Amino acid sequence: MRTAPARRIAAAVAVVSVVALGTAACGGTTKKSGADGSSAPAAAPTASADPSASVKKGLTIAYLPKAVNNPYFTISDGGGKKVVEAAGSTYKEVGTSSGTDTAGQVSYVNTLTQQQVDAIAVSAQDPGALCTALNQARKNGVKVVTYDSDTKAGCRDVFVSQAGSEDLGRTEVQLIAQQIGNKGQIAILSAAQTATNQNTWIGFMKDELKKPEYKDIQLVKVAYGNDDAQQSFQQTQGLLQQYPNLKGIISPTTVGIKAAAQYLSGSKYKGKVRLTGLGTPNDMRAYVTDGTVQSFELWDPAKLGALAAHTAIALASGQISGAPGQTYTAGDMGSFTIGQDSTVVLGKPTGFDKSNIGQYDF
Ligand code: RAM
């Protein structure tokens, strides 16, 4: 890598009550009674865990991604499948085909609870909408891991985070600032308007932009492509129509950055309007090669899915309860310690540009 920023870069199930709760949640609102907007926490993590407990076999671990047809989740959940099956357990994946079907996600959680799976690994489309359903699952003995995109901390056992959120948000700004010479209008092309992960990163981007060195950069708009290729493409087109002087776009979503690159590469803005964000090397290779994109970043989604599997199995085996400070072994990925807010961080993202993109195949 040539640039510093680029380098840093879840007993018996009370079916009736589950259905009743599911109906309430599907109505579009979440009952809020907990301090964090969650319903009464089912099981706040305690220190009661046995790190030397053996790994249970024959578990059923269910993955519920934001959307099953998003290629990013095909990679991440595939990484989870390998770990689950190698551990002698059963993997399954369920989910909606739209990154904005929050009611659909709630209904899948309720079904998995009725099926008495041992653990759910879920990437939440919305921070609060799943709380009631996830806490009902936990009351019924299901361990809940969020990965990629979190719910509220009171509604899951552990969040497996892809990278430090602050670092990600700030480095995205640093990358675009460098590429536009610290001057001009920029826009953000995000995923769903409710997405916990993107909104957290965007919050740090806005904070980074307050620094004096970015005084000549104006964030003119945050657009939402909903992790849909066509919507993301059209949103990019709309941004350029609305802001003809736009100098740069940050797209912190694999679907968004690919669609934006596709639009730019076939337009008069190619190489002129800069684009960075979070993409897979395989999606972005052609656009780095043709000069549309200089640099972007990501973690290995398969490793994120794998770590979620190890975490779900450790929880279901009683090795950890999710309390901060607990340590567990994630197979050949090594040892991980649960941090603040019961969060485990995979690691630092990798920055990609023409000098190294050839080394990656995902
Ligand atoms: C999209 C999804 C996912 C995000 C990646 C970077 O595939 O929105 O949640 O982590 O992009």
pLDDT of 48 reads 81
| pLDDT reading at 234 higher than 90 | yes
Pocket test for ligand 1, best of 66, 69, 148, 307 (most atoms within 8 A of CB): 148
With a 6 Å cutoff on the Cβ, whether 251 touches ligand 1 is no
At 219, give phi and psi (nearest 5°).
-85, 110
Element (H, E) at 316: helix 301-316
With a 6 Å cutoff on the Cβ, whether 319 touches ligand 1 is no
CA distances in angstroms from 356 to 9, 255, 361, listed in the order given: 14, 21, 11
Ligand 1 centroid – CA 119 distance (Å)? 22
* Interstrand relation of 295-298 and 350-353 (parallel, antiparallel or unpaired): antiparallel
**Structure tokens, 296:** 């972007």
With a 6 Å cutoff on the Cβ, whether 258 touches ligand 1 is no
With a 6 Å cutoff on the Cβ, whether 257 touches ligand 1 is no
- Of 20 and 161, the structure prediction assigns the larger pLDDT to 161
Which sequence spans correspond to the domains of the chain? 6-162+301-347, 165-298
CA distances in angstroms from 11 to 30, 59, 118, 120, 213, listed in the order given: 25, 14, 10, 15, 57
* Cβ-based burial of 238 (10 A; exposed 0-12, middle 13-18, buried ≥19): middle
| pLDDT reading at 165 higher than 80 | yes
Q: Which CATH superfamily is domain 6-162+301-347 in?
A: Response regulator (3.40.50.2300)
pLDDT-derived band of residue 45, with 50, 70 and 90 as boundaries?
A: low
Task: Please report, rounded to a whole number, the percentage of residues in the chain having pLDDT higher than 70.
Answer: 87
State the Cα angle at 206 between 180 and 227, rounded to 5°.
85
With a 6 Å cutoff on the Cβ, whether 148 touches ligand 1 is yes
- Give residue-wise pLDDT tens across range 53-95: 999 999 999 999 999 999 999 999 999 999 999 999 999 999 9
Q: How far apart are CA 67 and CA 64, in angstroms?
A: 8
Q: Give mean pLDDT, residues 100-105.
A: 97
111 contacts 132 by C-beta, under 8 angstroms:
no
Q: From atom 5 of ligand 1, which residue's Cα is the shortest distance away?
A: 253
* Interstrand relation of 327-329 and 335-337 (parallel, antiparallel or unpaired): antiparallel
- Give residue-wise pLDDT tens across range 301-319: 999 999 999 999 999 999 9
- Is the fold of 6-162+301-347 the same as that of 165-298? yes
Select from 3.40.710.10, 3.40.50.2300, 3.40.50.10540, 3.30.565.10 the CATH code of 165-298: 3.40.50.2300
Question: Whose CA is closest to 241, among 217, 214, 223, 216?
Answer: 223
At 361, give phi and psi (nearest 5°).
-130, 75
Residue 154 corresponds to which amino acid?
A: G
Ligand 1 centroid – CA 334 distance (Å)? 25
| pLDDT reading at 259 higher than 90 | yes
Q: Give mean pLDDT, residues 109-127.
A: 98
Ligand 1 centroid – CA 298 distance (Å)? 10
- Give residue-wise pLDDT tens across range 193-217: 999 999 999 999 999 999 999 999 9
